[in-house]
A and B are shown apart, each in its own frame.
Chain A
Amino acid sequence: GAVVSQHPSRVICKSGTSVKIECRSLDFQATTMFWYRQFPKQSLMLMATSNEGSKATYEQGVEKDKFLINHASLTLSTLTVTSAHPEDSSFYICSARDRWGPLPGELFFGEGSRLTVL
């Protein structure tokens, strides 16, 4: 199946700093990527939908100025957590849809990035 690479897998930062997480589709083009957040023992909550070449669409309750999303190419989307605080500590996972894949609607997920804000 299609491969989605996410980097870094783990990051620890001080409160107030910004952290960038990259999501790449390695062997396919992804016009749409999705960013999720997962707290311990909870399910994945959709944060935003990232469309190549346009502004991201954020879910209700997600601050767009805090979680900056850029989808500049068909294979790369980035999530920047700005002025991170301890409550932003979480597991962030990206996913992408293969626009030419055999199964319409199938999503492929990255390995996730664990953010710890001290």
Chain B
Amino acid sequence: KQEVTQIPAALSVPEGENLVLNCSFTDSAIYNLQWFRQDPGKGLTSLLLIQSSQREQTSGRLNASLDKSSGRSTLYIAASQPGDSATYLCAVSSVHEAGTALIFGKGTTLSVSS
């Protein structure tokens, strides 16, 4: 059974710092990996999706990498801003069926102070 772990559970940094969020998964047979942002009491905003054949994706100040063989992904946030404060969720879907749901980690709650 696929399990997704995210470290750290919480992170506090001053504005301007570069930071890395970590995600690991137990079954390397994934179809894709997706990073989301969730603000308190809100739904999910998709940040980046990495297909299993890809190694990384970039969007603005965000860069996500994927190492399928080791079961790891990282989300790099450059020059953090107070508006980046949120919970970041990592999720993977199985390679066995493209239509399977995503399995989520518990998230990393980020707080960026000004």
Contact = CB atoms under 8 A, between A and B. Distances in A.
Interface of A: 1, 6, 32, 34, 42-46, 49, 91, 93, 95, 97, 103-112, 114
B31 interface: yes
17 contacts: A43-B105, A44-B91, A46-B103, A49-B100, A97-B99, A103-B49, A104-B32, A104-B51, A104-B98, A105-B93, A105-B98, A106-B49, A107-B93, A107-B101, A108-B46, A109-B45, A111-B43
A91 B98 CA distance: 26
Interface of B: 31-32, 34, 36, 41-46, 49, 51, 89, 91, 93, 98-107
B19 to A, nearest CB: 20
> For chain A, what secondary structure do more than half of its interface residues adopt (helix, strand, loop), or is it mixed?
strand
Contacts of B34: 106-107
A97 B89 CA distance: 18
A105 B102 CA distance: 9
A38 to B, nearest CB: 9
B44 A109 contact: yes
